[in-house]
Chain A
Amino acid sequence: MAVKTVIEAIREGMDEEMARDPSVFLIGEDVGNRGGVFLASDGLFKKYGELRVIDSPLAESCIVGVAIGAAVNGMRPIAEIQFADFIAPAMNQIVEEAARFCYRTAGDFNLPMVIRAPWGGGVHGALYHSQSIEATFAHIPGLKVVAPGTPADAKGLLKAAIRDPDPVLYLEHKRTYRLVKGEVPDGDWVVPIGKADVKREGKDLSLIAYGLMLTYCLEVATKLAATGISAEVLDLRTIKPIDQAAIVATARKTGKVLVVHEDNRFAGIAAEVMAIIMENAFDALDAPVMRLTGPDVPAMPFNHVLEEAFMPNVEKILVKAKELAAY
Chain B
Amino acid sequence: MTSVKMPQLGESITEGTISRWLKQPGDQVKKYEGLVEVITDKVNAEVPAPLAGVLREIRVKEGTTVTVGTEIAIIEESVAAAAVPSPPPSSKETGELQAAFNTPTAAEPEPAVEQSNAGRTRLSPAVRALIEEHRISDAELMGITGSGIAGRISKKDIEDFVAKRAQPATANGEQRPTAAPSATPAPTPGTTIPLSPMRRAIATNMLKSKQTIPHAWTVAEVDMTNVVRFRQKAKDSFKLREGIDLTFVPIMVKAVVEGLKAVPVLNASWSEQGVVLHKDINIGVAVSVEDGLIVPVVHQADRMSISGLAKAIDDLAKRARAGKLGIPDVQGGTFTVNNPGTFGTILSYSIIAPPQVGILAMDAIVKRPVVVDGDAIAVRSMMNLCLSFDHRVLDGVSAARFLQGVRRWLEGFSEQVPLY
List A residues at the B interface (Cβ < 8 Å): 201-204, 225-228, 230, 232, 245, 249, 253, 255, 282-287, 322, 326-327
What distance in Å separates the Cβ of A105 from its nearest Cβ neighbour in chain B? 18
A225 touches B100 (CB 8 A): yes
B156 touches A204 (CB 8 A): yes
B124 touches A287 (CB 8 A): yes
Contacting residues, chain A, for B128 (C-beta < 8 A): 283
Residue among B109, B149, B152, B154 with max Cβ neighbours from chain A (10 Å):
B154
A-B contact pairs, 11 of them (CB 8 A): A203-B96, A204-B156, A227-B104, A228-B102, A228-B104, A230-B96, A230-B98, A283-B126, A285-B125, A326-B109, A327-B149
Output the nearest chain B residue to A256 by Cβ-Cβ distance.
B155
Contacting residues, chain A, for B125 (C-beta < 8 A): 282-286
- Residues A203 and B104 in contact in the complex (CB < 8 Å), given A245-B303, A255-B124: no
Beyond A204-B156, A227-B105, A326-B149, list 11 extra A-B contacts (CB 8 Å): A201-B96, A202-B96, A226-B100, A228-B100, A228-B104, A255-B155, A283-B129, A285-B125, A286-B124, A326-B109, A326-B148
What distance in Å separates the Cβ of B229 from its nearest Cβ neighbour in chain A? 23
A-B pairs, top 4 by smallest CB distance, nearest first, are A286-B155, A286-B126, A255-B126, A201-B96
Output the nearest chain A residue to B149 by Cβ-Cβ distance.
A327
Contacting residues, chain B, for A327 (C-beta < 8 A): 148-149, 152, 154
What distance in Å separates the Cβ of A180 from its nearest Cβ neighbour in chain B? 23
Output the nearest chain A residue to B264 by Cβ-Cβ distance.
A283
A227 to B129, CA, bound (A): 28
A286 to B108, CA, bound (A): 21
A284 to B154, CA, bound (A): 12
What distance in Å separates the Cβ of A238 from its nearest Cβ neighbour in chain B? 16
Contacting residues, chain B, for A203 (C-beta < 8 A): 95-96
Main secondary structure of the interface of B (DSSP, over half): loop
Output the nearest chain A residue to B105 by Cβ-Cβ distance.
A227
Contacting residues, chain A, for B105 (C-beta < 8 A): 227
A75 to B72, CA, bound (A): 62
Residue among B103, B124, B128, B148 with max Cβ neighbours from chain A (10 Å):
B124
Residue among B108, B128, B148, B155 with max Cβ neighbours from chain A (10 Å):
B155
What distance in Å separates the Cβ of A246 from its nearest Cβ neighbour in chain B? 9
Contacting residues, chain A, for B102 (C-beta < 8 A): 226-228
Contacting residues, chain A, for B149 (C-beta < 8 A): 326-327
A72 to B368, CA, bound (A): 53
Contacting residues, chain B, for A232 (C-beta < 8 A): 96
CB < 8 Å: which of B108, B126, B148 contacts A227?
A: B108
Contacting residues, chain A, for B180 (C-beta < 8 A): none
B124 touches A225 (CB 8 A): no
What distance in Å separates the Cβ of B378 from its nearest Cβ neighbour in chain A? 33
User: At the interface, yes or no: B127 with Cβ under 8 Å from chain A?
Assistant: yes
CB < 8 Å: which of B96, B103, B126 contacts A284?
A: B126
List B residues at the A interface (Cβ < 8 Å): 94-96, 98-105, 108-109, 111, 124-129, 148-149, 152, 154-156, 303
Residue among A230, A253, A284, A326 with max Cβ neighbours from chain B (10 Å):
A326
Contacting residues, chain A, for B129 (C-beta < 8 A): 283-284
CB < 8 Å: which of A202, A204, A228, A285 contacts B126?
A: A285
Output the nearest chain A residue to B150 by Cβ-Cβ distance.
A327
Contacting residues, chain A, for B100 (C-beta < 8 A): 225-226, 228
A295 to B148, CA, bound (A): 28
Output the nearest chain B residue to A283 by Cβ-Cβ distance.
B125
What distance in Å separates the Cβ of A92 from its nearest Cβ neighbour in chain B? 30
Contacting residues, chain B, for A282 (C-beta < 8 A): 125
A227 to B104, CA, bound (A): 6
A255 to B95, CA, bound (A): 14
Contacting residues, chain B, for A245 (C-beta < 8 A): 303
Output the nearest chain A residue to B119 by Cβ-Cβ distance.
A327
Output the nearest chain B residue to A323 by Cβ-Cβ distance.
B109
A228 touches B98 (CB 8 A): yes
Contacting residues, chain A, for B104 (C-beta < 8 A): 227-228
A249 touches B95 (CB 8 A): no
What distance in Å separates the Cβ of B373 from its nearest Cβ neighbour in chain A? 31
Output the nearest chain A residue to B304 by Cβ-Cβ distance.
A245
Output the nearest chain A residue to B111 by Cβ-Cβ distance.
A326
A225 to B105, CA, bound (A): 13
B109 touches A322 (CB 8 A): yes
A225 touches B155 (CB 8 A): no
A203 to B96, CA, bound (A): 7
A302 to B344, CA, bound (A): 74
What distance in Å separates the Cβ of B154 from its nearest Cβ neighbour in chain A? 6
A228 touches B101 (CB 8 A): yes
Output the nearest chain A residue to B127 by Cβ-Cβ distance.
A286
A286 to B124, CA, bound (A): 5
A285 to B124, CA, bound (A): 7
Contacting residues, chain A, for B124 (C-beta < 8 A): 255, 285-287
Contacting residues, chain A, for B103 (C-beta < 8 A): 228
A245 to B152, CA, bound (A): 29
Contacting residues, chain B, for A201 (C-beta < 8 A): 95-96
- Residues A225 and B126 in contact in the complex (CB < 8 Å), given A204-B156, A249-B303, A322-B108: no
A282 to B126, CA, bound (A): 8
A285 to B101, CA, bound (A): 25
Contacting residues, chain B, for A322 (C-beta < 8 A): 108-109
Output the nearest chain A residue to B128 by Cβ-Cβ distance.
A283
A225 to B99, CA, bound (A): 8
A45 to B187, CA, bound (A): 91
What distance in Å separates the Cβ of B311 from its nearest Cβ neighbour in chain A? 16
Output the nearest chain B residue to A246 by Cβ-Cβ distance.
B303
